[in-house]
Amino acid sequence: MFPLSFALVAAAWEIYKWIGPVDGGSVFGVNVLPRTSDLAMPHVWDMFSRLTEPEVRGNPDSVLHVVAIATWYSFRVALLAFVVGTALGVALAVMMARFRAAERALMPYLVVSQTVPIIVLGPLILSLLAYASRDLATETWIAAVILGVFLAFFPVALGTLRGLKSAQATSLELMDSYAAGWWTTLRKLRFPAAVPFIAPSLRVAGASAVVGVIVSEISLGVKGGVGRKIFAYGQEASSDPAKLYTAVFGAAALGLVMSIIVVAIDRRMMRNRPQEMA
């Protein structure tokens, strides 16, 4: 399915480049049609051929090699952000499900927190890290992880909380009749009932972690990540436009791999779900 969808996107790209206006176009006075010049829209085959060429003159490393290393770096940071964000989201959901006062107190702040642009939060986090330790201020990847967690935890917290509340009243009454404690009910009933709600939220969290890490790498100048490569290659786009898209390919590959991991977790969770709750 993925090769077919990629082929369709590449074909649509080339068709628009063939029939679209070279200098772009406007609709009702608004510029909405992108330019189709070679500087704005290089051919797909030029992008792939650029992958096999040296990144810079005099450097034997190909663009593919450099982008692959940068993508691997960003993948590890995004995976850490996803894991921490998921754990934080589940913990917050359990706390809010256990204590109604905690839900009323935290939920408004959680919702408002997602309206703050991460580009604004990046410098603030670096300042806080510098205040805690000068050594931490130099580890910009920590700020990238924090920003990835910031975006990833919210959908998990929301989905898990909704799932924990979805257990049937009759099942809860049955657990009460067995004198089961709240934590036993959580493990035996509420969490299995929440799986269909947690699984979709993990997909959103995985994508959010990738977006948060890449954006933070661009805005904070995190060395080694594919986001930084996008920024660096973007500065060379006027003379080497195909090079920019090689880094974009790396970011797309990162998102695809993260999606595969999340889907695997999703299937594992649904497979281990009790049959009576399926």
Burial label for 116, CB within 10 Å (0-12, 13-18, 19+), is exposed
End-to-end CA distance of the chain: 27
Q: In the chain, how many domains are there?
A: 1
> What is the rounded distance in angstroms from the CA atom of residue 196 to the CA atom of residue 116?
29
Q: Please check whether residue 30 lies inside any domain of the structure.
A: no
> What is the rounded distance in angstroms from the CA atom of residue 223 to the CA atom of residue 24?
34
Structure confidence at residue 33 (pLDDT): 79
> What is the rounded distance in angstroms from the CA atom of residue 119 to the CA atom of residue 142?
15
Q: Please check whether residue 257 lies inside any domain of the structure.
A: yes
Structure confidence at residue 272 (pLDDT): 61
Q: Please check whether residue 171 lies inside any domain of the structure.
A: yes
Q: Which domain holds residue 181?
A: 70-273
User: How many angstroms from the chain centroid is the CA of residue 126?
Assistant: 21
Dihedral angle over CA of 45, 48, 49, 51, nearest 10: 170
Count the alpha carbons within 13 Å of 257 in the hemisphere toward its beta carbon.
16
Phi, then psi, of 137 in degrees rounded to 5: -65, -25
Q: For residue 55, which of 74, 39, 68, 37 has the smallest C-alpha distance?
A: 68
Q: Which residues does 80 contact at the CB level (< 8 Å), separation at least 6?
A: 145, 148
Structure confidence at residue 167 (pLDDT): 81
Structure confidence at residue 137 (pLDDT): 55
Place of tokens 């594919």: 226
Structure confidence at residue 162 (pLDDT): 92
> What is the rounded distance in angstroms from the CA atom of residue 144 to the CA atom of residue 151?
11
Structure confidence at residue 274 (pLDDT): 54
Q: Please check whether residue 54 lies inside any domain of the structure.
A: no
What is the residue-level pLDDT of the chain in tens, covering all 278 positions?
A: 667 887 898 899 889 889 888 887 777 777 777 888 888 889 899 999 988 888 887 778 899 999 999 999 999 999 999 999 999 999 999 999 889 898 899 888 888 888 888 777 877 887 777 777 666 656 778 888 999 999 999 999 999 999 998 888 888 778 777 777 888 888 888 888 888 899 889 999 999 999 999 988 888 877 888 999 998 888 888 888 899 999 999 999 999 999 999 989 888 887 766 554 44
Q: Which residues does 226 contact at the CB level (< 8 Å), separation at least 6?
A: 67, 70, 71, 73, 74, 214, 217, 247, 250, 251, 254
* 62 DSSP 8-state letter: B
Q: Please check whether residue 25 lies inside any domain of the structure.
A: no
Dihedral angle over CA of 76, 116, 251, 270, nearest 10: 60
Q: Please check whether residue 49 lies inside any domain of the structure.
A: no
Q: Please check whether residue 210 lies inside any domain of the structure.
A: yes
pTM for the structure as a whole = 0.86
Structure confidence at residue 134 (pLDDT): 66
Structure confidence at residue 208 (pLDDT): 93
Instruction: Assign residue 150 the CATH number of its domain.
Output: 1.10.3720.10
Q: Please check whether residue 52 lies inside any domain of the structure.
A: no
Element (H, E) at 240: none
